[in-house]
A = this chain, B = another copy of it.
Amino acid sequence: MITVNENFLKLQAGYLFPEINRRAAAFAKAHPEASIIKMGIGDVTEPLTPAVVEAMHRAVGEMGKRDTLRGYGPEQGYAFLREAVVEHCYRNRGVSIEPDEVFISDGSKCDTGNLQEVFGLDNVVAVTDPVYPVYVDTNVMAGRTGPWDKAKGQYAGIVYMPCTAENGFVPDLPDRPVDLVYLCYPNNPTGAVATAEQLKKWVDYARENKAIILYDAAYEAFITDPDIPHSIYEVDGARDVAIEFRSFSKTAGFTGVRCAYTIVPRGLKAWRKDSSSVEIHPIWSRRHCTKFNGASYISQVGAAAVYTEQGKKQIQEVIDLYMDNAAVMCEALGKLGYAVYGGRNAPYVWIKTREGIGSWEFFDLLLQRAHVVCTPGAGFGAAGEGYVRFSAFNLPNKVKEAMERIAKL
């Protein structure tokens, strides 16, 4: 008799964004005249830049000719892209990463979801609260948690580290031992950043406690403050204890193109039950090569074009546009008296709703009365209750209109 993986049955409700889309679609159907402004899911609105488009046309052309066709590529990604990543994302900041430590993939959602597979089911997982739901849900599926505790809004067995205005949305060290720590900075959803000192504290913790940090740096391109690290490897000792995820999705408008990468440093170790150590690099490489067949050649060529002179310049203009949006939102929402966080080194603005109004209640209110879609903070965890997230990925005139509509409420 074929049995189901009952861990999947612990999962609560729908994944956050499908639920948002469902409510927005139901409202749109009931009010076809309403012009809805979507500031919920963080999806890009600016097109691919000319350098990327040109490179991808070239790649498509190559695929249509026998002499230049590319079939199966290296599962870990083409050398041209792995080398460009090292050169333009790490060496330029004095960080030592080798091309064979770069694993190209089709997305950070996949990478952050899949990476946990190489670790034992007995590890204690720590996540921030609020948190990107994929980190938690994929550990639930794997069986690293107990059941859902409805009263707490949490899964048993996971260590939730509250991120509040008091700690600047960077968690304090946990009060009990944890093995696998998910950190995301610039943070989704709060827009907070971590300083080198804050990251150092976590790297030291991991080294002392034989823990591993899964560091999601998908939004590093939006950092404007020169003192904020773009990579956890800017902190001494991080290579031994941290795996870093990055993506072209938000950096270069690749949400529909699909390309990302993960750094697994050689030398980073986990332990067997008999206390002997084992390197993770070859294990992740084996996993990647066995369950994945490489990102599309066309996507990889497009991604490499991001690192050309023209590519860099064009990407920066798009990032600036989004960050101008974030500044507009911070100012408008601040003027309305909301406590506003993020939006300075991240494309997300995180605000506290009015006293006593829940996240989903505020979401429904904005949808129904301002026809604006935000993301309820409660969807990211119990500590997100009473907050909502606005995405800066939008057209500037839409952002301004949304702010005007909210001001009129």
Contacts and interface: CB of A to CB of B under 8 A. Distances in A.
A4 B271 contact: yes
B47 A289 contact: no
Interface stretch (A55-63, A154-162, A224-232, A378-386): A55-63
A47 B64 contact: yes
B2 A271 contact: yes
A34 to B, nearest CB: 21
A296 interface: yes
9 cross-chain pairs, A with B, having the tightest CB-CB distances, nearest first: A3-B120, A53-B64, A113-B291, A43-B71, A4-B270, A71-B255, A70-B256, A256-B297, A1-B210
A1 B258 CA distance: 34
Given A1-B210, A4-B280, A72-B41, A46 B64 contact: no
Contacts of A298: 56, 60, 257, 296, 298-299
A398 B103 CA distance: 33
Interface string A89-114: 00000000000000000110110011
Nearest to A122: B3
Interface residues of A, number: 87
Q: Most B CB atoms within 10 A — which of A4, A114, A211, A272? A: A4
A69 B45 CA distance: 8
A73 B256 contact: yes
Contacts of A70: 256
A66 B45 contact: yes
A296 B297 contact: no
Interface string A286-305: 11011111111111000000
Contacts of A253: 69, 71
A117 interface: yes
A272 B3 contact: yes
Q: Most B CB atoms within 10 A — which of A1, A53, A210? A: A1
Contacts of A336: none
15 contacts: A1-B179, A1-B211, A1-B275, A3-B272, A4-B118, A5-B117, A15-B290, A46-B66, A48-B69, A49-B64, A56-B63, A60-B298, A72-B255, A72-B256, A257-B296
Contact of A4 (B1, B46, B106, B283): B283
A18 interface: yes
A180 interface: yes
A11 interface: yes
Interface in A351-388: none
Interface stretch (A22-30, A133-141, A184-192, A193-201): A133-141
A50 interface: yes
Contacts of A407: none
Nearest to A109: B293
Contacts of A18: 289
